[in-house]
Structure 1
Amino acid sequence: MKTLLDAVRGGRMDDIRPLLARLDRGGRKGALEELKALRKEAWDWPWGERTRVRKAILVAGAGCHTGAAGCATWLGARDMRGWVHSVNPWVLEVLGDREPEWLADLARRLAARAVESETEYRFVEELARRAGCPLPVSDGMARAWAERVSGSRRPERPLVDVLRADAHLDVLIPHLLTMPELPPVVAWVDSRSPAGYWPAALTTLVTDGLLDRAALLDSCVARLLRGGKPTDLRFCLLVVRGLGPTSDEEAARTADWMAMAADGPSPVAGHAQEVLARLDAQGALSVRQLAEVSGSVLFRTEKKLVRAQLVHLGKVLRRDPSAAGELLPVIADAFGHPDTDTQERALKLAARALPAATPEVREETARMASLLGPAHRAAARAVFGELLEDEPEAAYEEILPPPPAPRPVGPPPGSVAELTEEVTAVLLRPDQEDVTAFERALDGLVRYAHSGTEELVAALEPALAGMWWATAPEGEVEWRLSRGHDGLHIVAASLLGRVSRKAVHDAQALRTGTDSCCHDALNGVLHARLWEAAAGVRSGRLPYLLATPTWHTGTIDAVELVERLRGYQALGVHAGPVDFAQALLRVRRTGAEEAARQASALGTEQGDRLAAWLRADEPVAAVVARPVETDVTVAHDWVRQTVVTARRMLLATRENRLVRETFPRAFHWLGSAHSPRNQDCYCWMAESPRWTAALPEDGETLAAWLLPSVAACVEEQRGGTWLLPALAETGGPAAGAIHLALAYGLGARHAEDRLAAVDALLVLAARGRLDAGLLGGELAALVERESVKPNRLADAARTAAGTGAYGTVLSVLVPVLPTLLARERAPRGLGDLLAVAAECAELSGPPKTGPVPGLAETAARGGTTQLVRQAIRLEAACRAGTG
């Protein structure tokens, strides 16, 4: 055993097998324990020596294991992987004396683990060959095999030839298609040359008889039915189309095609729709089945699919008028489709089918006509006549969500146990940045450190024993906490003595207020607050924090802040500079004259400063009203060494000398003048709701500073509009900055970003803070500069109107339309935008600003394009309201 361990320590791979052969079962078991200890010890060795020795440890350990389960665990361990040169030949050598059944068991176990490379695949393959058993198959094996096959493809050796020569094709391909996601090398297809990729190769192999046609077709259809990544579904569609199923094969899967047409992604649903149309033409689809699938398809939002289904239903009704009894109710469901063109098509189709229907079906269809929009009511009356009941039109009422009510932060924790629970919850969920929970926990730590540090420490130490800083060296803890933004960990670690007093003092002095961007500055304010609190819990000097919010937005009630200062005065306590500065930025300044008078009556420095701050009622940084046009970088082409820029309308802020001269250094960036032309932000700060909680009464200022991030959402960036709903809840005026940010959000590239902007729009409207003319003007300017695309704006407007805010949406769109209508060539999406405006005008009444410039000229062009039809519709709605 000693000789074996010496060989392992020396990395002498060729000596391991002869030495293992001299050991019996007990000797190998003892050697294995020594190898495990050596494996841990080697972690502290220099890299080169460690790598050489650990290779030998892996080989020797594999030979010492007498059970296949233990050997698989040893060989598959994460820390034993990753070498450039494989040691598998030596492993196979030391396993040469094992029985075939043992090797087969090992192969199955290794395949079931994470096979991540071609080397591991070949190792399992060789074990199976030596054992004389079928190749064990798993997701990892299939993935590694696919990458191996794709890597073997060359221009002189097509992919299909590589697959033909593979001995395991018949077991790996079926498993490949059952994986949760196809390997990227399989799913990706170059549309310029699809014949050289996997779908074409698989269909060729079916023709050659090397793959089972029915099994491949079933697998692909099942995957299309199950859904998945777009690339995976495209792959399966290509295979299905390449196989060219016969009529019988398609008819045998009718239920699958129906389910795909109803619920599948658009490309899949479109293919299923084509198959079902063929089956219907061949008489393989019953009228009941057609009605069932049509009811689902006509409920979809994709106009192309809905229109195709209506066209097909028209063909069926011409071929078989007796089918009207089952199909007319389905067609009538389309009367409630959000697309007015679809409503019109459905109404015309119903008019043709109505004579062949029974009286009961006619009456049912007429009742459904109430779902039609106002534009089609006259046509519906002509179609249904007396069957259509006249309903008195109710007066329009704008539907807006209730204004968000401020939620109180509530009283401090009532006991040490309650505080411990709240602190632990905040520390264990750093990804859930709940401002209320964070502020309550921070204030609670300061309060109970003042009233009884020993009891607090005794409760927190066992609860927080699992935190990374609880066992890490003190130097590492101080280094990490002083350079990162670790939130409440800073205060908790200081309280429990994991950070020295010197480190707390040095961290407080570190903030210079010379941050490069608003993200760093706002995080820096929080960082300064935390380190000041870290010092406070060590000294126990502060009875509570001044900056703890009154409401969830971060705002502090002015009278409540005066009472807190009065409590400090009674105890003879001086406020923490950072804590007091943050309290000033959070206090509600509007209508606070009485609070200012009470603050002055305190006769303290902080009371006088608070009174002056309330009476001044000025933002922390005033926003320059006129936007600044500047070029910003939107992309880098590193290959060509070029930079892609875009023209942006951004806003500057003015200097606030009071903040610069009287606030701590951590706040100096906030009080400095900033222009978009001299701001470059390269940080990767995660967005935080604590930014809006830092300046809850200065939404305009925040909007101006964060505007570049919001504006970037009209390009590739995702997630930049997350703060818009929070900005809509801030105090202070809602002027140019908030409305410009909202305009960018409504034209964002990604639907989830536009949805956040719609939420903000409705909140502003509900609070009576929306200036529709200002927002429309900003949108018109952005559309004119092609920063906002009309089709994206139409999608956002349609979403907002769908909540019932038709009048609000119309008032925002009216200023945008003249800019687009004046163009010689209509931009993409203008027809959709006109459709939303027309629907809003039909339901809420014509715009209060009068006729839309350019609308009459567009309506008079003639033709049947979407643009002209919707222009005619909007003009008719405007005339109906004024006539």
Structure 2
Amino acid sequence: MAEVQGTDEVMGAGRVMGAEDVMGIEKLIEAVREGKAFEVPELLKPLGAAERKVALARLKELRTGVRSLEGIRPNDAVRVRRALYVAGAGCHTGAAAAASWLGARDLMPWRSEGAAMALRAVGDRTPEWLAEVAGRLAARPAVAEQSYGMIRGLVERSGCPTPATDGYVLAWSREIGTVRRHAERPAGPTLLERLRQDPQSPVLLVHALSMPETPEQLTWAVPDDSPEHWPTAVVALAGEGVLDRSGVLDAAVSRLLRGGRPRDLRFPMEVLRLVAPTPAEFLERVPDLVGMAADAPSTVAGYAQEALAGLAADGALPASALAEMTSAVLFRTEKKLVRAQLALVGKVLAREPGAADALLPAVAEVFGQEDTDLQGRALKLVGRHLPAADPSVRCELAERAGELSPTHRAEAARLFGDALGAPDLGPYEEILPPLPEPQPLAPPATTVEELVAELVVKRLSDDPVAFERALDGLVRLAHRDREAVAEAVRDAFPQPRWEQQTHYFTHETHGIHVVLAGLLGVLNPALVEFRRTAGHGADPCLHQALSGVLDARLWEAADLVGTDSLPFLLATPTGHTGAIDPLVLVERLRKYRDAGVEPAPADLAQALVRVLRAHPTAVRAAEEAAALETPAGRRLSAWLCRETVGATVRFLRRDEDKTLHRLWPMDRIVVELRESPVVRAEFPPAFEWLGGALEATPRPCHHWVEGRAQWPPVLPADREVLAACLLPTLAHGVDGDARGATEPLTALAEADGPVGHAVHVVLAFGLGFGDADDRLRAVDAVLVLAARGDLDARRLGTELARLVEDASVKPNRLADAARTAAATGAYGTVWAILAAMLPELLAAPKPVRGLGEVLAVAADCVERCGARDEVAGLDGLASGRASTQLVVQARRLLSALRQGAGHPLTETV
């Protein structure tokens, strides 16, 4: 073949491509097709720019076709991709295009594999070209991490500066930190020696110090004297002059100042500690140290505080800087830091009385602290140095002293006399959150486009309101035009998992996707029939039963969607809690009657469970439902006149089951559902447990819990039953470190139905959770119930006492929750709860560890709301001679109860 013409004719360098050129291209493509990456660099050498351009087009075709190999011969696919990686690097002439090819996710080899061959393929490029490709690859974090060998080779060949990017440093630290060790001694050089030999270390180590997420190798917990301890190696290099000491200090301090996770701060913190800055170096960075003391995590703030204290002890820290630092530290919640700062200020004032005007106003920040012990320390410090203060400063301090607890009011009056800021002794007013307003559910989607937009939203099931709206819209539009909706679904989900995996729906329902699969006709009819009629299974836990209700509805909808048997859903809520207005349900049943359609069993059952039987229109709705003269109408009429399902909760005693471990309160909980023959006889299998079919035995649930957001809408009109169902999960979570278990409590508080034992036990567990966000949700639920007039504070206090005594709830967590609730203005409500809890705990044979914190919150509540109750056991504890927090706070609480804090009492607002 003398020459190639037509579409294969390519002009380059003033000539037409000849047969030899075409043969070279074919050899290259064949080597790539066979996955022989090691042959590619040599095959590229004789090819010119024109030939490489033709080869590149063929390579792109191969790249597209290699996907078909993945499912058939995955190992061959890997080899072909590696050869494509090398060949593409050599065929691209533009740096940007080459970087895009080398950084493509489907072509990137694992770690740096294939880099050596790719570097040989681009060996004829200019240094400028190599440098640009290296910079582009290094700028992309994921690419830089996996292409370290390639980037490093490009940098070394081009002579360009080391690319200090997060991804490159991450890969570099992994490569240089890997060491093979003999049974007793290192097989190679130590980390310090490897870093010293690497010319890129000075740049990359400083960048590593400032990274938001520290590379894993740098955070490994090894002793300081280990040959693989990164901070020690960094400090040694700084001492040798390999690293700029000032640059290391600046990078470490800057990173600590930005804050973050303790894991990511460990490396810069350890480096800073080992470098041991001199007083002069600390003095240059005073503003940064003050910022660290103010906002950094406790360990970092403590280090900054010590550094600044050292400067203050030497008289090198200006009074203005110390005052700024003091204001910041005293605003923190860590008592250890606050006490240390007060001690530091005391020492400075003893040496420099003239600094009183600058420092004492900062000390007054503590007057507003919740801890009365810290208030007392600050007041003593102010009193000791008050004579040295300017009259204007004294007036300011006297005004701030009005924030002190009544415990210290007498001492403050002695110090400031008539200038003391008078506390607000007006009528106490309880502040509770406004009553939640019902939020009606928005109408379902009216167009196919709007529906598809809702369906493709990720994690749709996390929002029950959006989920119910989308499900109802799907059913309505599919009934109107099944083919149009099915076509839109196929376009929106071109390769759904349910079509690729035969058993995708065998064990899981997968939310609304099962209804989409039913719409497309890809479900096994036998499986649909089985899942529609299945009950709650053998020996389920309560949350499985809750999830089973939703599953039954979805499988029923999957079977009937797009048919005349399901024009719309009866169970779609009318409000955000999942509840249904009785008259709305009557109207829906009327439309079903007029259309001659019998309600689907699960849909009707869920609608009945959701209807508000205590609604003002319930009686009228019952009459109108009976007048429909249909079986469904009669069922609704009877259901509206029936009492709630009901549930009871009890705890097994030790003598009932000796095997129960006290650290697992969930093992002792027994939930008993009231027998309901109507539910057992008329409701589908998935609902039978609501009639007492679920046996009343302790049923521990240790498996993964999902779908919490969908539980409350199942029982929005039976709050006590819902609480009983949530109880095992809450009891399990309070002992572990799981988060999010209290998410349903917000919906529980806003639901309808009576509030009894189960609701209060659930709230008690929620207030004792380890995670602050979980406790906050429980606090919100308590306050909402109080605002609605549904909270029994005495019952909640009794349950809390039981759980604290049983070590299921830790007092310090409860104190934090109570303090949070009280800070909203609900001091009277919180005190009512604590007043019911304290007598039992005060009567315990041994002092309850951490109870002092609870007493401090109780005392604060009493001082604010002016309660005058009697607490059994408090007199005996307060009369003790010890100076522990428990005794001190007991005295404070007793004093507050006897004085009534001088507040006139008002009713709860």
- Please report the TM-score for the alignment, with normalisation by the length of structure 2: 0.87
- Show the counterpart of 1:872: 891
User: Does 1:665 pair with 2:681?
Assistant: no
The alpha carbon displacement at 1:288 in A equals 2.4
**Secondary structure at 1:242's aligned position in 2?**
helix
Q: 1:229 to 1:431 in 2, by over 3 A?
A: farther
Q: 1:794 to 1:15 in 2, by over 3 A?
A: closer
Once residues 631 and 510 of structure 1 are traced to their aligned partners in structure 2, the CA distance between those partners, rounded to angstroms, is 39
- Show the counterpart of 1:453: 481
Once residues 240 and 83 of structure 1 are traced to their aligned partners in structure 2, the CA distance between those partners, rounded to angstroms, is 35
Q: 1:371 to 1:508 in 2, by over 3 A?
A: farther
Question: Which piece of structure 1 moves more, 759-768 or 476-485?
Answer: 476-485
Contact in 1 for aligned 2:441/2:576 (Cα 8 Å):
yes
Q: 1:193 to 1:845 in 2, by over 3 A?
A: farther
The alpha carbon displacement at 1:404 in A equals 1.5
The alpha carbon displacement at 1:10 in A equals 2.8
**Secondary structure at 2:178's aligned position in 1?**
helix
- Show the counterpart of 2:14: none
1:373-414 CA-to-partner distances (Å, cap 9, x unmatched) read: 22222222222112125567222222111221222225x35x
- Show the counterpart of 2:103: 76
Contact in 2 for aligned 1:178/1:219 (Cα 8 Å):
yes
1:134-283 equivalent positions in 2, closer than 5 A: 134-152=161-179, 154=181, 155-156=185-186, 158-190=190-222, 197-283=229-315
User: Does 1:713 pair with 2:741?
Assistant: no
User: Does 1:108 pair with 2:132?
Assistant: no
Q: 1:615 to 1:210 in 2, by over 3 A?
A: same
1:554-588 CA-to-partner distances (Å, cap 9, x unmatched) read: 11122332333233333433222121111111011
Contact in 2 for aligned 1:504/1:534 (Cα 8 Å):
no
Contact in 2 for aligned 1:485/1:527 (Cα 8 Å):
yes
**Secondary structure at 2:711's aligned position in 1?**
helix
Once residues 558 and 623 of structure 1 are traced to their aligned partners in structure 2, the CA distance between those partners, rounded to angstroms, is 27
**Secondary structure at 1:589's aligned position in 2?**
coil
Q: 1:882 to 1:802 in 2, by over 3 A?
A: closer
- Show the counterpart of 1:738: 759
The aligned amino acid for 1:865 is: T
Find 2:598's aligned residue among 565, 574, 595. Answer: 574
Once residues 875 and 139 of structure 2 are traced to their aligned partners in structure 1, the CA distance between those partners, rounded to angstroms, is 70
The alpha carbon displacement at 1:194 in A equals 7.4
Question: Which piece of structure 1 moves more, 205-214 or 559-568?
Answer: 559-568
The alpha carbon displacement at 1:838 in A equals 1.0
- Show the counterpart of 1:467: 492
- Show the counterpart of 2:864: 843
Find 2:394's aligned residue among 350, 362, 368. Answer: 362
Contact in 1 for aligned 2:622/2:638 (Cα 8 Å):
yes
1:469-519 CA-to-partner distances (Å, cap 9, x unmatched) read: x4659844996567654544555665xx6335x757852542311343444
The aligned amino acid for 2:153 is: E
Contact in 2 for aligned 1:325/1:361 (Cα 8 Å):
yes
The alpha carbon displacement at 1:650 in A equals 2.0
Q: 1:92 to 1:559 in 2, by over 3 A?
A: closer
**Secondary structure at 1:651's aligned position in 2?**
strand
User: Does 1:791 pair with 2:819?
Assistant: no
The alpha carbon displacement at 1:828 in A equals 3.4
User: Does 1:549 pair with 2:600?
Assistant: no
- Show the counterpart of 1:9: 33
Find 1:93's aligned residue among 120, 126, 151. Answer: 120
1:171-207 CA-to-partner distances (Å, cap 9, x unmatched) read: 2111212322110210233478778522222112222
Q: Which runs of 5+ in 2 are unaligned?
A: 1-24, 903-909
- Please report the TM-score for the alignment, with normalisation by the length of structure 1: 0.90
1:58-105 CA-to-partner distances (Å, cap 9, x unmatched) read: 333333223333333223222223459933333333333334443333
The alpha carbon displacement at 1:764 in A equals 1.5
User: Does 1:694 pair with 2:714?
Assistant: yes
The aligned amino acid for 2:604 is: F
Question: Which piece of structure 1 moves more, 365-374 or 6-15?
Answer: 6-15
Contact in 2 for aligned 1:652/1:673 (Cα 8 Å):
no
Once residues 678 and 647 of structure 1 are traced to their aligned partners in structure 2, the CA distance between those partners, rounded to angstroms, is 8
Contact in 2 for aligned 1:742/1:757 (Cα 8 Å):
yes
- Show the counterpart of 2:876: 857
The alpha carbon displacement at 1:279 in A equals 2.0
The aligned amino acid for 2:727 is: L
User: Does 1:55 pair with 2:96?
Assistant: no
The aligned amino acid for 1:524 is: G
The aligned amino acid for 1:622 is: A
Once residues 431 and 628 of structure 1 are traced to their aligned partners in structure 2, the CA distance between those partners, rounded to angstroms, is 42
The alpha carbon displacement at 1:465 in A equals 6.6
The alpha carbon displacement at 1:221 in A equals 0.7
Once residues 362 and 544 of structure 1 are traced to their aligned partners in structure 2, the CA distance between those partners, rounded to angstroms, is 74
Once residues 831 and 426 of structure 1 are traced to their aligned partners in structure 2, the CA distance between those partners, rounded to angstroms, is 52
CA-atom RMSD in angstroms: 3.2
The alpha carbon displacement at 1:250 in A equals 0.9
Once residues 68 and 409 of structure 1 are traced to their aligned partners in structure 2, the CA distance between those partners, rounded to angstroms, is 55
Find 1:416's aligned residue among 438, 441, 446. Answer: 446
Find 2:625's aligned residue among 585, 592, 599. Answer: 599
1:821-846 CA-to-partner distances (Å, cap 9, x unmatched) read: 34455343221111011111222234
Once residues 712 and 381 of structure 1 are traced to their aligned partners in structure 2, the CA distance between those partners, rounded to angstroms, is 51
Q: 1:365 to 1:12 in 2, by over 3 A?
A: closer
- Show the counterpart of 1:436: 465
The aligned amino acid for 1:833 is: V
The alpha carbon displacement at 1:462 in A equals 8.6
Once residues 882 and 168 of structure 1 are traced to their aligned partners in structure 2, the CA distance between those partners, rounded to angstroms, is 68
1:374-389 equivalent positions in 2, closer than 5 A: 374-388=406-420
Contact in 1 for aligned 2:498/2:504 (Cα 8 Å):
no
Once residues 167 and 596 of structure 2 are traced to their aligned partners in structure 1, the CA distance between those partners, rounded to angstroms, is 68
**Secondary structure at 2:106's aligned position in 1?**
helix
**Secondary structure at 1:300's aligned position in 2?**
coil
**Secondary structure at 2:552's aligned position in 1?**
helix
The aligned amino acid for 2:45 is: A
- Show the counterpart of 1:640: none
- Show the counterpart of 1:23: 47
Once residues 872 and 452 of structure 2 are traced to their aligned partners in structure 1, the CA distance between those partners, rounded to angstroms, is 58
- Show the counterpart of 2:21: none
The alpha carbon displacement at 1:802 in A equals 0.9
- Show the counterpart of 1:637: none
Q: 1:593 to 1:478 in 2, by over 3 A?
A: farther
The share of aligned pairs that are identical, in percent, is 47
**Secondary structure at 1:623's aligned position in 2?**
strand
Q: 1:863 to 1:416 in 2, by over 3 A?
A: closer
Q: Which runs of 5+ in 1 are unaligned?
A: 635-642
The aligned amino acid for 1:650 is: I
Once residues 814 and 420 of structure 2 are traced to their aligned partners in structure 1, the CA distance between those partners, rounded to angstroms, is 36
- Show the counterpart of 2:364: 332
- Show the counterpart of 1:763: 784
- Show the counterpart of 1:372: 404
The aligned amino acid for 2:120 is: E
Once residues 64 and 155 of structure 2 are traced to their aligned partners in structure 1, the CA distance between those partners, rounded to angstroms, is 31
The aligned amino acid for 1:582 is: Q
- Show the counterpart of 1:722: 743
The alpha carbon displacement at 1:13 in A equals 4.1
User: Does 1:513 pair with 2:514?
Assistant: no
Count of residue correspondences:
860
The alpha carbon displacement at 1:858 in A equals 2.1
**Secondary structure at 2:629's aligned position in 1?**
coil
Once residues 287 and 333 of structure 1 are traced to their aligned partners in structure 2, the CA distance between those partners, rounded to angstroms, is 17
Find 2:640's aligned residue among 608, 614, 617. Answer: 614
Q: 1:416 to 1:125 in 2, by over 3 A?
A: closer
The alpha carbon displacement at 1:692 in A equals 0.5
**Secondary structure at 1:317's aligned position in 2?**
helix
**Secondary structure at 1:716's aligned position in 2?**
coil
The aligned amino acid for 1:283 is: G
**Secondary structure at 2:672's aligned position in 1?**
coil
- Show the counterpart of 2:15: none
